[in-house]
């Protein structure tokens, strides 16, 4: 008995001294992408922290709270923000899978949303204050269906003021809540692959939407209301699909946020994704030329997930929709994106299509920080 107790004490001491448990080893070996269900009321970042804390607790590892927490061994991120009032699919990358999230950020997404005619709010959804009320009795189902054709394909869209986009390092929504005057961001091109009316019971209407990255459902519903000579706001929003992950088949509920369940989901989830193409290597002389032309102006932010390129071309200005919404500028129409110890080069094949270039050691390239939105 004494020997057994001594062995147990030694094992406990080894664990306290840093020896990983079997659960910890399995957790840290997880790599890939999977999907979870995001309930209403949580931000995507809050959900990510809850998921991470739960997994670390199961593995017997500590979770450090606060923005200034030290770098932790478990690397995890999400592939596209959902509004706190929205529900549905949120794709998660773990381990090396965080580098696959770029596909999720820029890839297609499907939503079901219910809008309300006749009421506009400052947030463009039911969480905000009513700013305008207009009649809607004159609007017919046929009117609505005809209007939707104007919002299909490549369209220009102004992002909501209450959004994760930033100005001077602060979210626009935070500045608005502080009573600051905030100008709307310029309209940008977004893509709607399909848009259909599922139900029309005025003042409510339900839409089925498939869109590309950087698209705001709240702006869509608001713009539809204006186009119908009325106004509208989002009442309910659910993301039903992101990339190959669907709400019904793949999104893990909170009771399935376990190491074993996620490991199983990763095996299935990775098989859904197309194989990543080999990265094209640039000539050494081109690399040296870029290295000379791009001077580092400020400290680079740490990216928790892959950015989405929203604009590129001439002049050589590219906007990266990252956690902190940084704008980078380099010569030769290239965008350098930092992810921990590597820099990833985004270059333009032509005026409209970016391609992923090569990854290089940090010392080989530097970044020119133009503006922090």
What does the pLDDT read at residue 181?
A: 65
Looking at the fold, whether 135 and 49 belong to one and the same domain comes out as no
Looking at the fold, whether 179 and 224 belong to one and the same domain comes out as yes
65/67 Cα distance (integer angstroms): 7
Residue 67 lies in a domain: no
Instruction: List, for residues 326-339, the tens digit of each pLDDT value.
Output: 333 333 333 444 33
| Global model pTM greater than 0.85 | no
Give the number of other CB atoms < 10 A from CB of residue 170.
14
pLDDT at 222 over 90: yes
- In the three-class reduction of DSSP (H, G, I as helix; E, B as strand; rest coil), residue 55 is classed as helix
Looking at the fold, whether 124 and 238 belong to one and the same domain comes out as yes
- Closest by CA to 372, choosing from 306, 289, 283, 299, is 299
Looking at the fold, whether 113 and 234 belong to one and the same domain comes out as yes
**324 noted as active-site residue:** no
Q: How many domains does the chain have?
A: 2
Residue 219 lies in a domain: yes
139, 202 Cβ separation under 8 angstroms: yes
Q: Look-up: residue for tokens 């804390």?
A: 53
What percent of the chain has pLDDT above 90?
47
Looking at the fold, whether 225 and 124 belong to one and the same domain comes out as yes
Contacts of 209 (CB under 8 A, 6+ apart): 110, 111, 112, 113, 192, 194, 195, 217, 220
What would the two tokens of residue 46 be? 């809050």
Looking at the fold, whether 86 and 153 belong to one and the same domain comes out as no
> Exactly one of 83, 125, 223, 304 is catalytic; which is it?
83
Residue 120 lies in a domain: yes
Instruction: List, for residues 289-336, the tens digit of each pLDDT value.
Output: 333 233 333 333 333 333 333 333 322 333 333 333 333 333 333 344
Residue 229 lies in a domain: yes
Looking at the fold, whether 136 and 193 belong to one and the same domain comes out as yes
Q: Look-up: residue for tokens 């992923």?
A: 356
Looking at the fold, whether 191 and 205 belong to one and the same domain comes out as yes
Looking at the fold, whether 119 and 234 belong to one and the same domain comes out as yes
Give the number of other CB atoms < 10 A from CB of residue 70.
6
Looking at the fold, whether 114 and 125 belong to one and the same domain comes out as yes
Residue 349 lies in a domain: no
Looking at the fold, whether 195 and 238 belong to one and the same domain comes out as yes
Domain that holds residue 126: 109-242
pLDDT at 275 over 60: no
128, 222 Cβ separation under 8 angstroms: no
Which regions of 21-108 does DSSP assign to beta strands (E)?
Answer: 32-38, 76-78, 87-94
349/287 Cα distance (integer angstroms): 16
For residue 190, the cross-strand partners are 155
What does the pLDDT read at residue 85?
A: 94
Looking at the fold, whether 215 and 172 belong to one and the same domain comes out as yes
Domain of 158, CATH number, reads 3.30.2350.10
């Amino acid at each position: 008995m004494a020997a057994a107790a001594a062995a147990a004490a030694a094992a406990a001491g080894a664990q306290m001294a840093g020896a990983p448990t079997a659960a910890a080893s399995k957790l840290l070996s997880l790599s890939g992408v999977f999907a979870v269900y995001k309930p209403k009321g949580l931000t995507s970042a809050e959900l990510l922290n809850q998921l991470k804390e739960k997994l670390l607790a199961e593995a017997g590892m500590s979770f450090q709270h606060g923005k200034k927490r030290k770098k932790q061994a478990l690397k995890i991120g999400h592939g596209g923000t959902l509004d706190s009032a929205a529900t549905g699919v949120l794709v998660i990358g773990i381990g090396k899978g965080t580098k696959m999230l770029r596909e999720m950020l820029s890839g297609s997404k499907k939503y079901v949303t219910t809008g309300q005619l006749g009421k506009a709010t400052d947030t463009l959804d039911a969480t905000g204050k009513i700013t305008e009320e207009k009649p809607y009795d004159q609007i017919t189902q046929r009117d609505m269906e005809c209007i939707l054709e104007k919002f299909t394909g490549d369209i220009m869209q102004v992002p909501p003021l209450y959004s994760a986009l930033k100005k001077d390092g602060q979210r626009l929504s935070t500045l608005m809540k502080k009573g600051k005057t905030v100008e709307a961001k310029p309209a940008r091109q977004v893509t709607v692959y399909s848009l259909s009316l599922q139900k029309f019971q005025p003042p409510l209407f339900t839409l089925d939407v498939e869109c590309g990255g950087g698209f705001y459902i709240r702006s869509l519903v608001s713009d539809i209301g204006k186009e119908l000579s009325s106004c509208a706001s989002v009442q309910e929003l659910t993301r039903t699909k992101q990339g190959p992950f669907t709400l019904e088949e793949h999104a893990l509920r909170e009771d399935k946020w376990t190491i074993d369940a996620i490991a199983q989901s990763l095996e299935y989830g990775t098989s859904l994704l197309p194989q990543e193409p080999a990265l094209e290597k640039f000539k050494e002389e081109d690399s040296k030329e870029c290295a000379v032309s791009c001077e580092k102006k400020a400290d680079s932010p740490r990216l928790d997930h892959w950015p989405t390129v929203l604009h590129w071309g001439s002049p050589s200005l590219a906007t990266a929709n990252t956690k902190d919404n940084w704008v980078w500028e380099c010569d030769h129409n290239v965008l350098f994106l930092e992810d921990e110890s590597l820099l990833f080069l985004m270059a333009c094949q032509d005026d409209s299509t970016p391609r992923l270039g090569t990854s290089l050691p940090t010392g080989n390239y530097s970044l020119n920080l133009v503006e922090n939105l």
